[in-house]
Structure 1
Amino acid sequence: MYIDRSRAARVRKALSCAALAVFLVAGCGSGTDRSDADETSITEAASHADQKGLSITVPGTLAASVAELQAGVRGRLGLAIMPVGGDQVVSFGDWTTGPAWSTMKVPLTIAALRRSPGNASYAVSAAITASDNAAADTLWQSLGTNQEAAQAVQSVLREGGDTKTTVPATRARSEHSAFGQAEWSLAEQVRFASRLPCLPQSATVINLMEQVQSAQRWGLGAFSGAEFKGGWGPDASGAYLVRQFGLISTPSGQIAIAFAAQPDSGAFSDGMTMLDKLSTVISQHLDELSGGRCPA
């Protein structure tokens, strides 16, 4: 019998990368009942998360399924999950950070609406539902100088709990927006998403995130009622990064999700397919995830 040893090695590596995630996912939120022993195990695992060699991934869990998917695709992928109102980010995969691309249009639109509540409804809607770049540029310009615009968007990120991401004022690549080239990690993005429903004047943007046009309803778009925004674009060599973030609902509340794919082929379509597969994996393990709500 032929054994694909390289694939087996990838599975082992991916399972190692997913270490302790199953415990932390189960520990997110406040909607599930657990014994004191369970809580102790979760706490001990979290407190020793930086110890090398700790591997407690359990077969059949989300952590194991993501690891198996990662081992079977040609490319890199990453996933971060956090309950709304929670404080613990759970991460999977080997992709962690990169350009925000159009996902940064969410805090941009919030900043623009706050600056000018009567902002042109077309620009606001098109920037989110159609990811229209001209509309987003209009919103950026409405915030003042490039420096003022960058600071306004960054302030929204800070309010949403992202303490690290810096929004550039100038274009690193002349053909792309300044805000789209901001380095936005999945961990900081999902932290922002987990507080998005709790931010003042965010309701309009969140409602639009549920109305993303059909051509862009891949990935999280497979979840009924999902509120999400995608972003995608090529690096200097033309290879695409494809990413999304948003909110999905469960009986115990909402879950914030941020994920990304960078296929070896560099093709946008392959990135979409990877996120579709990752969404399917998430849907198969929703019972492991506890949602949350904004603090009263």
Structure 2
Amino acid sequence: MRRCEPVTHRRTASRISGTLLSLGCTAALLAGCTIPTAEERASGPEGTASSSAIHPPKPGVPKGQGPATISDQQANALQQQWQRLISQYPDASLSMTLLPVGARHGTAPLELGFAPHLAGAETLRVPIALAAVQKSGGNGDVGGDLITALNANDARATARLWTSLGTDEQAAKATMQALRQAGDSATKVRKTEPLRSEWLPANQVRFAAGLACLPAAEYIRSAMAAANPDQQFGFANYDQAQISNGWVTVQGATTVRQMVILDVGGPGFVALSVTARAKDGKKESAQVLLTRIAQWMMHQLRSVPAGRCP
């Protein structure tokens, strides 16, 4: 039976930073490798699903046998269980949008709960970082800012990544190109205050599902798998998740958002966009709710549509 408890030795930014700082090697940046699923890791030589050793980053998930889909049976099962979950929190606002990696072209994401129209906030640092890495050609000094921006949601590091893309207009264009490259064909990025650009959950999961398969995004995904201690909530508690956190405050109430690439084992991987807003409007309360959603999700893996790169 698959273990659903969070692991206690999730990789952190300090442990992976040495690997990420080797960003100056173009060949390493574009190398083609694969990430094993949780089941494949568990059956490896060490017999464990994860290790305390630092491993070089890998570029994407394994290729599959065909495009993934979301079956009616999977959708209905998740909808039913979701209703049971949210009934426990009638005064909270919760949502989850998901799309299997390697989904058939045109597959509509599955939306559980009301998926709000929100600014991308800190989660938009991911396509900004992807654009900066690609512009550097593997020779730019973006490794340190990449770690700080994605692990610690550092605004100054993100601003430096943005500036490395040129003028505000050039940076917005480059970030949108990164979004399009990974499968988000709709999101528009503001030239000023780019983190306030609206990023719909459905578009976010299209991007995340595509990001999982981009060889050039290996360092991005490695940074997403190494959260700072103060970022350990929601899916960050699970070793098989790569995450980016964001917070949006509207009229004094904070919505916590998490973009996730989740390894569900044998079937493959799924992209998630999860939001939570608590009754009291506090960020900390929303983080607790998002952690509860993650716990719920880890007990639904048999019903989760997942896939592998085409």
Asked if Structure 1 and Structure 2 have the same fold, meaning a TM-score greater than 0.5 normalized by the shorter chain, the answer is yes
Shift of residue 263, structure 1, vs aligned partner = 2.3
Which residue does the alignment assign to 1:104?
Answer: 124
Which residue does the alignment assign to 2:282?
Answer: 267
For residue 99 of structure 1, give the secondary structure of its aligned residue in structure 2: coil
Shift of residue 108, structure 1, vs aligned partner = 0.5
CA contact (8 A) 2:212 2:261 kept: no
Pair 1:241-2:255 in alignment:
yes
Task: Specify which of 92, 114, 125 is matched with residue 134 of structure 2.
Answer: 114
Which residue does the alignment assign to 2:5?
Answer: none
Pair 1:126-2:140 in alignment:
no
Which residue does the alignment assign to 2:237?
Answer: 222
RMSD: 2.1
Shift of residue 164, structure 1, vs aligned partner = 1.4
Which residue does the alignment assign to 2:79?
Answer: 63
After TM superposition, the structure 1 stretch with the greater mean CA deviation from structure 2, 117-126 or 267-276, is 117-126
Unaligned runs of 5+ in 1: 1-28, 32-38, 47-55, 171-177
Shift of residue 30, structure 1, vs aligned partner = 7.0
Q: How many Å separate the matches in 2 of 1:141 and 1:84?
A: 31
Pair 1:138-2:160 in alignment:
yes
Q: Deviations over 1:178-219 (max 9, x none)?
A: 121111111110111111022241001101111111220211
Q: How many Å separate the matches in 1 of 2:131 and 2:275?
A: 24
Q: How many Å separate the matches in 2 of 1:251 and 1:213?
A: 28
For residue 270 of structure 1, give the secondary structure of its aligned residue in structure 2: helix
Q: Deviations over 1:74-104 (max 9, x none)?
A: 2211101111111431110013320111001
- Superposition pairs of residues 172-251 of structure 1, within 5 angstroms: 178-235=193-250, 237-249=251-263, 250-251=265-266
CA contact (8 A) 2:97 2:115 kept: no
Which residue does the alignment assign to 1:149?
Answer: 171
Unaligned runs of 5+ in 2: 1-63
Shift of residue 64, structure 1, vs aligned partner = 1.8
Q: How many Å separate the matches in 1 of 2:142 and 2:211?
A: 22
Q: Deviations over 1:88-124 (max 9, x none)?
A: 3111001332011100111110101111132232111
CA contact (8 A) 2:118 2:248 kept: no
Q: How many Å separate the matches in 1 of 2:196 and 2:142?
A: 25
Q: How many Å separate the matches in 2 of 1:223 and 1:64?
A: 24
Partner amino acid for 1:84? V
Q: Deviations over 1:120-168 (max 9, x none)?
A: 3211110111111110000001111111111111111111111211110
Cα distance, 1:122–1:93 mapped onto 2, change above 3 Å: same
Q: Which has the higher helix share?
A: 1
Task: Specify which of 75, 82, 89 is matched with residue 99 of structure 2.
Answer: 82
TM-score by length of 2: 0.71
Shift of residue 69, structure 1, vs aligned partner = 2.3
For residue 216 of structure 2, give the secondary structure of its aligned residue in structure 1: coil
Q: Deviations over 1:235-267 (max 9, x none)?
A: 2x3221110012111222111111111223210
Shift of residue 285, structure 1, vs aligned partner = 0.6
Q: How many Å separate the matches in 2 of 1:257 and 1:223?
A: 14
Which residue does the alignment assign to 2:188?
Answer: 166
Q: How many Å separate the matches in 2 of 1:289 and 1:167?
A: 31
Greater RCO (Cα-Cα under 8 Å, separation 6 or more): 2
Partner amino acid for 1:206? R
